[in-house]
Amino acid sequence: MSATIPNDDPLLGPDILAAIKASGVEIIVSVPDIVTSEGLLRIVRSDPDIRHIALCKEDEGISICTALSYCGKRSLLMMQQTGMYDSVNSMRAIAAGYGHPVCMLVGLQGAEPHIPPRESDKHIVRVAEPVVDALEIDHQLLSFGGDVAKIKPAIDNAYEKSRPVVLFVGAMLPPA
């Protein structure tokens, strides 16, 4: 029997952004993804407290977030799991290998809202967490509203320990 994820407490972009801001993140770098674009990226772009940097490739974001950490700036990279897969070498070498606080919010395109990603029938969803485990990168799954409470501690821990973290968004965000 598989575990299910509650669906009566939706994950909402404004709540995610509030938690990101509460963690001291000033800059969000991103490649748009279908999971978070309408519900989160749209409001990020209009928030006067957040600087947004649009990217062409996700692995550029690993380097940019690393450089920003050297400048004393907290940042977050937003992407989809397909871009995360393309960025594995940068995640391995720059973020995990050299110990940089690269914080990543990764939308799981194709995730079924009531099924944990590791139990998905879709290979692209099912292997996301194991890939990050293989890189020895901490991660959290955000699937419903109550999970927003995981964001600030995860980002704070990444900066305190100078280690990367991945926040998986396991549910399509409704438009804000």
What's the pLDDT tens digit per position in 133-169? 999 999 999 999 999 999 999 999 999 999 999 999 9
Tokens of 84: 């995360």
Q: 21 pairs with which residues across the strands?
A: none
Distance of alpha carbon 171 from alpha carbon 176, whole angstroms:
14
8 Å CB contact between 62 and 77? yes
Q: Would you state the pLDDT for residue 1?
A: 41
CATH architecture label of 13-114+139-169: 3-Layer(aba) Sandwich (3.40)
Query: What is the reported pTM?
Result: 0.93
CB < 8 Å & 24+ apart, contacts of 152-157: 152/19, 152/22, 152/23, 154/103, 155/20, 155/23, 155/24, 155/25, 155/74, 155/76, 155/103, 156/23, 156/24
CB < 8 Å & 24+ apart, contacts of 14-17: 14/43, 14/176, 15/145, 15/148, 16/40, 16/105, 16/142, 16/148, 16/151, 16/169, 16/173, 17/43, 17/44, 17/47, 17/50
pLDDT mean over 7-17? 89
Q: Would you state the pLDDT for residue 174?
A: 86
Q: 54 pairs with which residues across the strands?
A: 30
Q: Would you state the pLDDT for residue 175?
A: 86
Tokens of 69: 């950490």
CB < 8 Å & 24+ apart, contacts of 149-152: 149/19, 151/16, 151/19, 151/20, 151/22, 151/23, 152/19, 152/22, 152/23
Q: Residue holding tokens 């821990």? A: 157
- What percent of the chain is modeled with pLDDT above 90? 85
Q: Would you state the pLDDT for residue 2?
A: 46
Tokens of 173: 């965000």
pLDDT greater than 90 at residue 9:
no
